[in-house]
Structure 1
Amino acid sequence: MDTNVAEEAPRPLPTRPPRRPGWTTTEWWNQPVGPIYLVGLVLSLGRGAWFTCWAMFFIRSVGLSTAEFGIGVTAAGIVGMIVGGPLGYLADRIGAREVLVGLGVIQGAAILSYTVVHDFWLILLATCIMTAAERSAPGIRIAVISGLTTGEDRMTSISTARVFTQVGVVVGALVGGFVLSLDTRAGYLILLGVYGGLHILCAMLLALRLPHVESLADRRVKRRALVLRDRPFLVLTGLHGVLALSWGMIDPGVPLWISHHTHAPLWIWAVVVGISATGTVLFQNRVSRRGATVPGAARLGLWSGLALAAACLVFAGSYHGSGATVITVLVVATMVYLVGELLFVASGFGLSVGLTPENAHGEYQGTFGIGQATAMMLAPGIMTVLLVEWAVVGWFVLAGLYIAGGVGTYFAGRWALAGRAAGRERV
């Protein structure tokens, strides 16, 4: 017998085809919230381009004075702050999709009106309308997503929508920079026409492709506003607004600081923006998963405040710095800030959605957005005083505000959760 039997060669293990990212598949875009992602990406492209050069359009092309421009922006910010809650309640009443579509048409028409109006009061009116729609739309969008998703998919979908928005804003800012470099009325008008037209086209897409979210009218339910009696949620709204000053800190706060109190090259500002935007795209979904529950979101709020405070202290270390040292300090500070921003956004998603009754997402999201709108309205003035006038001392004051906001968010989240548990026991 021949004992020299050749050993059988090992069979190769079956290989699995590489898994494609969800957004590269048709099925992913055909899911119920798919149109929200697409519209968010397209409109944020326009938004990034427009807000890069809107100040120069009004001052150099329309001919407004800097005082008139400042008055208009402030008035529009106040209007945008006030209307969020009522529009959110309207979304619950008649349908979140319908209100979102209406806001898109209204905002598009207001933007297009800039191409033909020159009177200050008409421009002020258009700006107030546009800002009211722009500030209200994100909350209504979250209400739509909340109505179309459940469980873990809800938080993932909300954070994914933010990622697409961030990508669009960054790319759009590059387009806006090109238009700004041309600095011609024709360039501004073309941008306005495209941006306004996209709003109307996207509203039509949502009307045709986005499923209807069941409303109070569908259920034949009549009720008063709930959120105004929810004291823990209102407190959280205010505390979230304190943490939302972080957006105003990174813009315009950091550019003002760099130009007034450091010898850093101005191009470092582009690096700061790039780090923040890239980090959001890469990590926001992962961080948001840790805030899927109210206790988890409250803890993220605490850590957010501490991280933002730490970023303030590192930024303060760049005072009168120059050369490679100041660049290194600013980059490190931006990375610490990014951690705080990611945690802050995830905390806001988790708290605002997790504490909302199922039939009141529009109302609660609209009210929660008031904290952000207030912060964005006040941020330019606050950052100018703290970071330009008070210099290093201003960074310490800002750090204290963030710590107070983070600690307050943690305890207010526990308060809100305890109140809901007590309410269920009474039932």
Structure 2
Amino acid sequence: MSRILRRSARASSPGQPGRLAGLVSGPLAEVQLATLVLTLGTGAWFTCWAVFFTRSVGLSATSFGAGVTAAGVVSLVLGSPLGYLADRLGTREVLVCLGMVQGLATLGYLLVSEFWGFMAVSLVAVTAQRIAPGIRVALVAGLTTGGDRLQAISTNRVIQHVGLTVGSALGALVLVLDRRAAYLALVVLYAVLNLAAAMLTLRVERVPPVPRTPGGPGMRVLRDRPFLLITSLSGVLALNWGVLDTGLPLWVTTHTEAPLWTIGVLVTGNTVAIVAFQNRVSRAADKVAGAARLGTFSGVALAVACLLFALSYQRGGMVVVAVLLLAAAVHTFGELLFSASGWGLSVGLTPDEAHGEYQSTFAAGSATALSFAPMVMTTLLVGWGVAGWLTLAGVFLAGALPTVPASRWALRTRRQLEAPG
């Protein structure tokens, strides 16, 4: 599999074969392979888990949502401390532990038969799943330097989307079968793939931990107000991930006359565009200033997409399909800019000795958005209709416009944060 990744890299970038191949070779090959294995399971599981818990286990939609939201809150609280621990003990080691915990906790779903059991297992499994991405970015950052760092992180996201796409196809097959035995088999598969990814990560070259300097700052990210502001702004923009996977399906089925297959086309097009263009877009975020500008452009693009989605209200025929395709294309453009901006800002503003701490905190913003996105999308798009899209456009602009001044503030305060105390 590692050889396949290296061959794909050489084939996909004839202009820079050596450089891009290096992003999926050596120690990075094991990280990317672990990511591929993990996301195969993630794509399959998250395609089915809501149906499994509501139809097979018998939870209400409200109970299911409450459990997931609670886990999101826990991940928000634990993200920074575990990131700080990763810097002290090693990002590889903490990531392996999270993978093991998630895999073993997932097996607990086999025994769930009521709400409190689901809550207990989810608090462990979902929390580990939400915290791990920040630690993984910190690991990749620790294994790379210079311009390769951002491109390696971007490549990791491309591989994530490949795995998620293939995995979601497997999940769709499980939904077609719609048998408890198939769901339980998927639980086991997801747990095994988590454990396999953890074992692959254990083979990655170790990033030396950074011991705490006596008398130096503790969790410095909590004193870094500009970075916390940027994290919050990014969390607002991260709601865009809830548009295609939650908001748009609800909108299409309740407020338009578009055929249902349109949803599949829009989601597939989004995935293909990210795989094709994410690395190219990310090159513009190699400096903090450039990344901040991309963040602003991202919010504007997402706001325009919302306005276009609103135009599909109560429309049918090929007109609504064309409007939805155009809106989804603009949304995908905004998502590409958002992801690149987030990496450029979070990595560019992170001290070299605190990648785990900073990346875990930054990832908490996205985790929070993922926790609340279903509720936000249901309220705005199903309940408010066109007014919901207009409100969401305003939310994206509010998250984007302060990004440039916030990044300038962050750059001005870097030296102060290096001082002990």
Q: TM-score under structure 1 normalisation?
A: 0.91
Distance in structure 2 (CA, Å) of the matches to 1:411 and 1:33:
34
1:113 corresponds in structure 2 to 108
Q: Does 1:346 align with 2:340?
A: yes
Q: Does 1:254 align with 2:239?
A: no
Amino acid at match of 1:176: G
Distance in structure 2 (CA, Å) of the matches to 1:128 and 1:265:
37
**Are the aligned partners of 2:32 and 2:159 in contact in 1 as well (CA < 8 Å)?**
yes
Q: How much does 1:390 deviate?
A: 1.4
Distance in structure 2 (CA, Å) of the matches to 1:234 and 1:269:
35
Q: How much does 1:93 deviate?
A: 1.1
Q: Does 1:200 align with 2:175?
A: no
**Are the aligned partners of 1:79 and 1:131 in contact in 2 as well (CA < 8 Å)?**
no
Amino acid at match of 1:408: P
Select the residue among 223, 247, 258 that pairs with 1:264: 258
The alignment's C-alpha RMSD in Å is: 2.1
1:412 corresponds in structure 2 to 406
1:32 corresponds in structure 2 to 27
Q: How much does 1:58 deviate?
A: 1.3
In structure 2, the CA distance between the partners of 1:216 and 1:424, relative to structure 1 (3 Å rule), is closer
Q: Deviations over 1:165-216 (max 9, x none)?
A: 0111111111101001111111111111111011112211211x20111112
Where in structure 1 do 4 or more consecutive aligned residues deviate above 3 Å? 19-23, 25-30, 217-223, 421-425
2:293 corresponds in structure 1 to 299
**Are the aligned partners of 1:85 and 1:367 in contact in 2 as well (CA < 8 Å)?**
yes
Q: Does 1:134 align with 2:93?
A: no
In structure 2, the CA distance between the partners of 1:28 and 1:317, relative to structure 1 (3 Å rule), is closer
Q: Does 1:215 align with 2:209?
A: yes
Task: State the SS of the aligned residue for 2:291.
Answer: helix
Select the residue among 248, 269, 280 that pairs with 1:275: 269
Q: How much does 1:217 deviate?
A: 3.4
Distance in structure 2 (CA, Å) of the matches to 1:247 and 1:366:
19
Q: How much does 1:44 deviate?
A: 0.7
Q: Does 1:224 align with 2:221?
A: no
Select the residue among 362, 367, 378 that pairs with 1:368: 362
Higher deviation after alignment, 353-362 or 242-251: 242-251
1:69 corresponds in structure 2 to 64
Q: Which sections of structure 2, spanning at least 5 residues, go unmatched? A: 1-9
Amino acid at match of 2:171: G
In structure 2, the CA distance between the partners of 1:245 and 1:20, relative to structure 1 (3 Å rule), is closer
In structure 2, the CA distance between the partners of 1:201 and 1:308, relative to structure 1 (3 Å rule), is same
**Are the aligned partners of 2:23 and 2:151 in contact in 1 as well (CA < 8 Å)?**
no
2:3 corresponds in structure 1 to none
Distance in structure 1 (CA, Å) of the matches to 2:416 and 2:61:
53
1:15 corresponds in structure 2 to none
Q: Which sections of structure 1, spanning at least 5 residues, go unmatched? A: 1-18
1:154 corresponds in structure 2 to 149
Structure (1 or 2) with the larger CA radius of gyration: 1
Distance in structure 1 (CA, Å) of the matches to 2:136 and 2:36:
13
2:313 corresponds in structure 1 to 319
1:3 corresponds in structure 2 to none
Distance in structure 1 (CA, Å) of the matches to 2:362 and 2:173:
35
Amino acid at match of 1:162: R
Select the residue among 162, 173, 178 that pairs with 1:183: 178
In structure 2, the CA distance between the partners of 1:67 and 1:407, relative to structure 1 (3 Å rule), is closer
Distance in structure 2 (CA, Å) of the matches to 1:146 and 1:368:
14
In structure 2, the CA distance between the partners of 1:139 and 1:411, relative to structure 1 (3 Å rule), is same
Distance in structure 1 (CA, Å) of the matches to 2:241 and 2:23:
31
Select the residue among 385, 390, 401 that pairs with 1:396: 390
Q: How much does 1:386 deviate?
A: 1.3
Amino acid at match of 2:106: I
Distance in structure 2 (CA, Å) of the matches to 1:349 and 1:125:
32
**Are the aligned partners of 1:216 and 1:222 in contact in 2 as well (CA < 8 Å)?**
no
Select the residue among 5, 28, 36 that pairs with 1:41: 36
Task: State the SS of the aligned residue for 1:359.
Answer: helix
In structure 2, the CA distance between the partners of 1:388 and 1:117, relative to structure 1 (3 Å rule), is closer
Q: How much does 1:313 deviate?
A: 0.8
**Are the aligned partners of 1:242 and 1:375 in contact in 2 as well (CA < 8 Å)?**
yes
Q: TM-score under structure 2 normalisation?
A: 0.92
**Are the aligned partners of 1:257 and 1:388 in contact in 2 as well (CA < 8 Å)?**
yes
- What is the aligned length? 406
